[in-house]
Each structure stands twice: as structure tokens, then as C-alpha cells.
Amino acid sequence: MKTRNKAAALILIGSVFSCTDLHNDPIGLLTPEQISTDPTLNSVTLSVTTSYQMLASTLNILGSDWDVNWAKGVVFRDDFIVSDIASDDVKKKWNPDGDQAWMDQVQSFNFTASNQAFNGQWTYDYEGISRANLAISYLTDAAITTKIGIDPTLKNRLLGEVYFLRAFYYFDLVTNFGDVPLVLKPLSNFSEAYSVAKRETRANVYAQISADLAQAKTLLPNSKSADPVEHWRASKGAVLALQAKVALYNQKWTEVISIVTELEGLNFYSLNSNYFDSFAVAKEATESEVIFDYDHQSAQTPRKGNGLCAPLDWGFIAPTDNFIAEFEANDPRLLYTVNVTDKAVYKLLGATNTSYKGNDDAPSNKIYIRFADVLLWKAEAYNETGNYVQAVTIINSIRNRARTSVDVTGAMPPAGTLPDRSTASVDKVQIKAWLAHERRVELGFESQRFADLRRWSTAKAVLTALGKNFQDRNYLYPIPQSEIDKSGGSITQNPGY
């Protein structure tokens, strides 16, 4: 196994290291084969680049055996399962069948801790953390940075990127699983690996996320793109956005307002004039709204394409009737999101046609944070602090962009589409309902809905009303049972599982 591909091995407690079974190793374990004893500038830079890879929708990036990867939930990153199918927006397939029944179990909330969706999400996040830890260890080692002769500006930028990435992966873990193991350095032996095989409190994980983001903010350049050529790299704007999201999820409303205001003051981002520009392959790196995404590219070695376009052609990933019914008349965002007639999710395909449908190496990007989402965080914080006019004004700005976007056919929506909400309202509950509606139709199929329902504590009411078996325990997902078993019980399970 070459150092080039494995900034770090995966994540689990179990058998000795094997290149054919990465998933049985202790959390974050590295082996001598994986640690370059003589790192070069190229290998250090590559250790940062590979830290992004666990955000990809590329197929089978953790091994080539389809059967093994399906069984472990790692054919692709499982965001669309644990964040979309679990919500009221998305169902597994257009026509229900028994294929990949574990996804149906997540959709209906009839799963156990052995369901591979949770193993897959855990695996991708900890592999990303493990790779980031290796890159951080290189870039904070004065002897290594001196030896390879890295430019100090480049070193700071790369270090800022991996601090952000580690924070991003931990944020996904803590919001899905609660208390999780906190691994902050490469682990070189089983003793070290077992020592971290225990859950750290959610508060301490959030403290580490905040510390990493604070570091990243000081290290990344004050420009829209961290790199003038590779626009996809984590930027100062991405750091501020994630800081605001951390504050949002911890209900620190004044911090949300302050951080988003700071982000707006950079003048790097604005709402695109057309709603679909954020998703269109043809607009990548030229539009003004996307803050952080994964840059899928076709025909690369190793592969870097969007593999989710393939299961779209297998009948996977379809809207619920409830989601479609949420849209107001003539809202162009509905057809830009999904074409029911052609069974095409345009947002994932990156085009308003089916040209990439079935392409397992498509160029469409995976968007994680965009400006419209951030603005709605600020609107929510304004509403929670009693600044109702400001909250509704932001909601109306999102609606205005939608109603002034030409639709998929190129026509303007008819007059009267998406009228403004009343800024005279002082009804906090009503404004929250407007906000929840706007987030749902604006951000559909972007892996935001289930997280919103959980943090608002409305998931049980909303999902049980639709016949899902959501229970109080489901506000957190179970720790993968394999992790508990391999740790000998030192990693404990969430209540109710």
C-alpha cells in the first residue's frame, strides 16, 4: 500500500492491518507503511488534498469490491441516506422495491445499530479526520517544514485548510451521533488507538471544532478563494460560515448574527441572479453563491467524479409527495430541484436535462454550504432574538431571488408568484413557520432538512405524522454496533439502542 493513497487508515477497533480490509483497524491507526519517514513537499501537499476526498460522492473510493462496500455502507458517502431519505423530502426510489433494504430501514426508522448507513457515515468522517491529522502533523513539525522548504504562506494556507476539514468532519459526527471519540493526532500503535476508543462529550467535541476553526481563520488568506486556481479549497468564507453554523446548532443567536455579518462584510458572496446557477456544471467557479463544495471532475486518475449520478439512473433518490406539495404555485425552484416526469434530480445532476444521468463519473459538484443557507441562519437568529423585521426581510430576499429567476423553460414566473411575507408581523411562531417553509423549498435535496427537524425538535411530530416510526432516541443516530463490539465496550451506545 503506497503512502500516496492513505494519509491514514480507518477507524475501527479490530484485526491487524490489511490493505484489503482497511475497516477493521483501530480509530485513526497509522502503520509504518503509511507514514513517510522522508516526506517531500509533494507528499505533504498531497496529504492535504487527500483530506478532502472523504467529502466526495465518488463511487468506491474506499475499496473496489462492490459487495463488501454495499455491506459496509461505503459505496459512496451516505449523506443522502442519513440526511435526505431520513427526512420528509426524499424517498429511496421512485418505485419501491427490496433493493438495498437497509436504506428503507433508515427511511422508515426501523433500523438497528448494525445498519450500514451509520457505519458508512462514521467511516467516511473518521477517515477524513485521520487524513487531516496526518497533514496537520506534517505542517506543524518545524523540522519537516524546514527540510521540505515549504513557503510559509503556502504552509499556513494548507494548515488552515486541514484545520477546517477536521472541524467539518467532527461537526458532522457530533450532530449525527452526539458524544464521539476525539482523535487529534496520528496514532502509530494499537495501544494509542485503544486509548482513544472512548466517547468524548459533545461539549468538548464542539470546543475542539471551535478551536480548529479559530486556527483556520487566522491562517487562510483574506480572499474569496484560498487558491486562485483550485477554487474548491476551503477558504476564510467557509470557516466563517461553519463558525456560524456551529453557533446556530448551539442556539447562540447573537453569535450567529455577528459571524454572518462579518461574512457578508467580506463582499465575497451574494445570491446568484438565477436560482440554479449554484448547481450548474457550466457555472462552477464563476457563480457567486457557493461557499464550500466538493469539486467533482470527470476523467481523472484517480477518479474524482460524482458517482451519485449513476444510482439516479437506477431509480434511486426521488421526491416525496409531501415535498412536492410544499412548493407554492409557480415556484421555479421545484422543477430546478427535480423533474418528476423525467425522474431527474437536476440539483444532483448539475444540469436541467438528463445528460449526466447514469454517469458514474459526472462533473457535478456536491454543495455543502451556500450563501442562501447562511442568510436563512441569520434570519432564524433574528427571529429568535425578537428582530422580526430583519428576519422577514431576509426571508423575502430569498423569495425575491426565486420569483425573479427564469424557470427551466426560460420564462419568468407570472406576476404574483411568491409574494413577500409581511414585515409587520411580530408573531415569532408564524415567522418560524415561514422560515421552515423557505428552508425546505430553497434547500431541498441538499442534505439539510433532517438536521433542521432535529435541531428544532420537530422531527418526531413531522415524521410520525407521515407514518414514520421516529422515536425520541432517533434525535441521535446509533453508534455503529461494530465500533462498540470491536472496542470491547469502551465505546458506549446512545440511549435507546
Is 202 in the same domain as 275?
no
Is 225 in the same domain as 212?
no
Is 128 in the same domain as 60?
yes
Model confidence at 29: pLDDT above 90: no
Is 235 in the same domain as 317?
yes
Is 308 in the same domain as 193?
no
Is 123 in the same domain as 249?
no
pLDDT at residue 196 in the model = 87
Q: Are 260 and 244 in contact (CB under 8 A)?
A: yes
pLDDT at residue 363 in the model = 98
pLDDT at residue 191 in the model = 76
Tens-place pLDDT, residues 443-466: 999 999 999 999 999 999 999 999
In-domain check, residue 182: yes
Structural domain range at position 201: 1-216
The identity of residue 374, as a single letter, is V
Beta-ladder partners of 290: 370
Is 195 in the same domain as 264?
no
In-domain check, residue 466: no
Model confidence at 49: pLDDT above 90: yes
Q: Which residue from 267, 261, 271, 270 is spatially nearest to 240, judged by alpha carbons?
A: 261
Tens-place pLDDT, residues 290-340: 999 999 999 999 999 999 999 999 999 999 999 999 999 999 999 999 999
Is 52 in the same domain as 145?
yes
pLDDT at residue 189 in the model = 75
Tens-place pLDDT, residues 331-383: 999 999 999 999 999 999 999 999 999 999 999 999 999 999 999 999 999 99
Model confidence at 159: pLDDT above 80: yes
pLDDT at residue 190 in the model = 73
Q: Which of 216, 248, 266 is the last residue of a domain?
A: 216
pLDDT at residue 4 in the model = 30
In-domain check, residue 487: no
DSSP letter assigned to residue 95: S
The average pLDDT across 45-67 equals 96
pLDDT at residue 194 in the model = 77
Q: Could you tell me the pLDDT band of residue 14, with boundaries at 50, 70 and 90?
A: very low
pLDDT at residue 48 in the model = 97
The CA distances from residue 364 to 30, 128, 341, in Å, are 33, 21, 21
In-domain check, residue 449: no
Average model confidence (pLDDT) across the chain: 92
Q: Which of 27-41, 214-228, 346-360, 482-496 has the lowest mean pLDDT?
A: 27-41
Q: Which of 189, 216, 243 is the last residue of a domain?
A: 216
DSSP letter assigned to residue 358: T
φ, ψ for residue 339 (rounded to 5)?
-100, 105
pLDDT at residue 77 in the model = 97
Number of domains in the chain: 2
Is 44 in the same domain as 152?
yes
Tens-place pLDDT, residues 103-151: 999 999 999 999 999 999 999 999 999 999 999 999 999 999 999 999 9
Q: Which of 216, 233, 264 is the last residue of a domain?
A: 216
pLDDT at residue 288 in the model = 98
Is 151 in the same domain as 247?
no
In-domain check, residue 480: no
pLDDT at residue 28 in the model = 55
φ, ψ for residue 367 (rounded to 5)?
-90, 125
